[in-house]
């Protein structure tokens, strides 16, 4: 076999391997998603959203408490995490642009985004749960907010940096102070990007389980009291899936289905928004 | 830009305080974890804690060796599967695929990162683990059962709840991180350089191997380190299928425990101060480990960025 042929075969093999790798990745994506859809859709019913859990092992009941709890926790996490993230991103992209401090915060945020979320759970446990002696919805919301802050901060920084500097100069030339320039000109230019970042960060925390295990804990009853343990979908899925009852497993699948669809829709929507806004 | 305006001053201070929360939180996590684990640090020290194999809440002897071992083994196997696959995917979506497939396949792979880890866990427990124990693990045992050394890896009864299953799930979860960063780095290779190589008669693989990969290696390293950091700290997906058993085993078909799994399973059950303190100690070890790995990842990515922007 001559060398030309060997090189061609080698190239063909390598490209076949890369195709196989892509198929391997796609295989798992389709496998997992179809599995969740098949099991989840079969177990889905209206009771799931409108009824509270029945005693373990009994038929029927739903997860109303977990849906409401999840919404509460995510809502308050967003309420705390987003302003801090957006303002923090504003500082490093505007007032502190190009300084060493901005660089450190930016790098630290990137690291913090990937810090194991269970570590953040233990941290919040030590700060909020142990002193009060009480698992609470607030602790859960704050744990999720802590995870959100660096995500939102980095997106805000990136989006603000995309706004052309000349736009700010035009506003300065009209005599506007910097804060007015930021709020009325820069934020407006970056609004779509920042909103998308917020959406994506909500999708990210909505699926978090580990930081809620020892903060908001779980609650078998319907409760909107954020000072008490609050049920969340993800922790409920964990407990139900590990539990011995078939009805629990069914409900865990249904809850997984809802949460997966919700997160995928937000993620895809966010991607499309970014593409649409920043296409050249 | 003189800041004479009082509103401007207060707005800048407000934003400064907000950005400082990141710094405070990171420092706070470290300090609080050290403080909470001080009881255990005093009792066991550093070296003894990470080398002690016993994890016995009844006798109050706590050593992290089994959890650290589990973390390392699952991560190692996951990386062995994920790195070649992820780089293969990156090659596919930058060089090999027809143009109309590049975007959609790249986005589809990234969706793997959007699926919450609890879903991976559920799926792993109810779908993958039974498949592993029924088909894949017995055939692995058959294939390697008579090969010396390798057969140690596949000893025991295939239950599906074991290191191999956990590692496989972990690898699927981290593929998108390496793949998307590698893809972005590959895309930064100047077209002129690639075209010159093609003009010399190089095959596609030779261009990838000799031009694209060397050019983008910093970015690829960064992507690998990032997914390593992710794998170390992954909790829920592993918690479902690893079994939380504290021992050191050579067989991939044995249950085990990782730092994260120990925390998830035992944190709310810790009934003594020393137990809880030791769990905080574990969290501290994990925090330091992942911080270092992620810092290395960031270092590579920053260097890559600087290099490409030249």
DSSP string, B3-18: ---HHHHHHHHHHHHH
Res B4 pLDDT > 70? no
Rounded-to-integer distance, Cα B119 and Cα B173, Å: 11
Helix (H, G, I), strand (E, B) or coil at B245: coil
Q: What is the pLDDT along chain A (280 residues), one digit of tens a residue?
A: 688 889 999 999 999 999 999 999 999 999 999 999 999 999 888 888 888 888 887 778 889 999 999 999 999 999 999 999 999 999 999 999 989 999 999 999 999 999 999 999 999 999 999 999 889 999 999 999 999 999 999 999 999 999 999 999 999 999 899 999 999 999 998 999 999 999 999 998 999 999 999 898 888 888 888 889 999 999 999 999 998 888 899 999 999 999 999 999 999 998 888 888 776 5
- Nearest partner of B15 among A112, A92, A218, judged by Cα: A92
Q: Give the distance from residue B142's alpha carbon to the nearest chain A alpha carbon, in angstroms.
A: 24
Residues of A in contact with B33 (CB under 8 A): 119, 122-123, 126
Joined together, the tokens standing for residue B33 give 């974890």
Q: Are B171 and B224 in contact (CB under 8 A)?
A: no
User: Mutate which of A2, A25, A176 to test chain B, going by most B C-beta atoms within 10 A?
Assistant: A25
- Mean pLDDT over each residue of chain A, to the nearest integer: 91
Contact across the interface for B22 and A24, Cβ inside 8 Å: no
| pLDDT at residue B157 in the model | 84
- CB contacts, 8 Å: B18 with chain A: 83-88, 90-91
In angstroms, how far is CA A76 from the centroid of its own chain?
Answer: 14
Residue B281 pLDDT class (50, 70, 90 cuts): very high
Interface of A with B in 56-75 (CB under 8 A): none
The radius of gyration of chain B from alpha carbons, rounded to an integer in Å, stands at 23
Residue-wise pLDDT for B34-89, tens only, equals 999 999 999 999 999 999 999 998 898 999 999 999 999 999 999 999 999 999 99
Q: Which residues of B touch A153 (CB under 8 A)?
A: 19, 22
pLDDT tens digits for range B220-264: 999 999 999 999 999 999 999 998 889 898 888 899 999 999 999
pLDDT of residue A219: 84
Interface contact flag, A179 B7, Cβ < 8 Å = yes
Residue B142: its pLDDT value, please?
Answer: 87
What is A58-96 written as a DSSP string?
-S----HHHHHHHHHHHHHHHHHHHHHHHHHHHIIIIIT
Q: Does the domain at residues A54-279 carry the CATH identifier 3.40.1790.10? A: no
- Contact criterion met (CB < 8 Å) for B93 and A22: yes
Q: What residue ranges do the domains of chain A occupy? A: 54-279
Task: Residue A10: list chain B partners with CB under 8 A.
Answer: 203, 205
Tell me what pLDDT residue A227 has: 87
Tell me the percentage of chain B whose pLDDT exceeds 90.
75
Is A18's CB within 8 Å of B91's CB? yes
> Which residues have a Cβ under 8 Å from the Cβ of A35 and sit 6 or more positions away?
B123, B127
A120 touches chain B (CB under 8 A): yes
User: Choosing among B2, B6, B22, B127, which should be mutated to test the A contact, i.e. which has the most A CBs within 10 A?
Assistant: B22
Q: Which of A7, A149, A241 sits opposite B240 (nearest CB)?
A: A241
Question: pLDDT (tens digit, 9 = 90+) per residue, B113-145?
Answer: 999 999 999 999 999 999 999 999 889 888 887
CB contact set of B71 (below 8 Å; sequence gap of 6+): B232, B258, B259, B260, B286, B289
ipTM: 0.92
């Amino acid at each position: 076999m001559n060398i030309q042929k060997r090189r061609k075969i080698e190239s063909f093999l390598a490209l076949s391997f890369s195709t196989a790798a892509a198929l391997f990745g796609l295989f798992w994506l389709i496998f997992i998603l179809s599995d969740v859809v098949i099991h989840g859709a079969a177990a889905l019913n209206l009771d799931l959203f409108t009824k509270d859990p029945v005693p373990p092992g009994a038929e029927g009941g739903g997860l109303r408490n977990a849906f409401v709890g999840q919404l509460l926790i995510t809502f308050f996490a967003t309420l705390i995490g987003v302003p801090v993230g957006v303002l923090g991103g504003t500082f490093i992209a505007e007032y502190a642009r190009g300084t060493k401090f901005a660089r450190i915060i930016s790098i630290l945020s990137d690291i913090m985004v990937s810090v194991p979320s269970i570590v953040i759970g233990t941290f919040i446990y030590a700060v909020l749960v142990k002193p009060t002696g009480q698992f609470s919805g607030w602790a859960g919301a704050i744990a999720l907010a802590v995870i959100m802050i660096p995500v939102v901060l980095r997106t805000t920084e990136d989006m603000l940096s995309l706004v052309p500097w000349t736009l700010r100069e035009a506003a300065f030339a009209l005599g506007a102070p910097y804060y007015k320039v930021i709020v009325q000109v820069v934020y407006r230019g970056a609004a779509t990007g920042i909103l998308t970042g917020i959406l994506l960060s909500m999708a990210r925390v909505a699926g978090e389980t580990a930081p809620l295990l020892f903060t908001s804990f779980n609650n078998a009853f319907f409760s909107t009291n954020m000072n008490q343990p609050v049920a969340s979908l993800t922790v409920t899925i964990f407990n139900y899936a590990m539990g011995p009852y078939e009805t629990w497993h069914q409900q865990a699948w249904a809850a997984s289905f809802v949460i997966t669809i919700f997160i995928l829709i937000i993620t895809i929507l966010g991607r499309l928004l970014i593409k649409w806004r920043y296409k050249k | 830009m003189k800041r004479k305006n009082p509103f401007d001053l207060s707005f800048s201070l407000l934003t400064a305080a907000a950005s400082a929360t990141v710094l405070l939180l990171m420092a706070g996590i470290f300090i609080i974890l050290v403080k909470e684990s001080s009881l255990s640090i005093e009792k066991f020290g550093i070296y003894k804690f990470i080398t002690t194999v016993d994890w016995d809440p009844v006798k109050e002897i706590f050593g992290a060796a089994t959890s650290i071992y589990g973390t390392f083994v699952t991560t190692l196997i996951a990386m062995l599967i994920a790195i070649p696959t992820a780089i293969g995917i990156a090659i596919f979506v930058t060089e090999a695929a027809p143009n109309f497939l590049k975007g959609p396949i790249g986005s589809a792979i990234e969706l793997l990162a959007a699926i919450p880890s609890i879903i991976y866990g559920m799926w792993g427990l109810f779908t993958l683990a039974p498949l592993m124990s029924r088909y894949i693990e017995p055939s692995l045992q058959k294939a390697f059962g008579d090969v010396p050394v390798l057969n140690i890896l596949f000893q025991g009864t295939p239950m599906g709840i074991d290191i191999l299953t956990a590692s496989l799930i972990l690898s699927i979860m981290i593929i998108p991180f390496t793949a998307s960063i590698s893809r972005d780095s590959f895309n930064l290779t100047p077209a002129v350089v690639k075209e010159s190589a093609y003009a010399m008669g190089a095959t596609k693989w030779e261009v990838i191997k000799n031009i694209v990969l060397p050019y983008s290696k910093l970015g690829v390293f960064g992507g690998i380190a990032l997914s390593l950091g992710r794998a170390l700290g992954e909790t829920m997906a592993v918690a479902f299928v690893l079994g939380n058993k504290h021992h050191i085993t050579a067989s991939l078909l044995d249950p085990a425990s990782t730092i994260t799994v120990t925390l998830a399973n035992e944190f709310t059950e810790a009934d003594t101060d020393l137990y809880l303190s030791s769990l905080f100690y574990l969290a501290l070890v994990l925090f330091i480990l992942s911080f270092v790995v992620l810092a290395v990842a960031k270092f590579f990515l920053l260097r890559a960025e600087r290099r490409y922007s030249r």
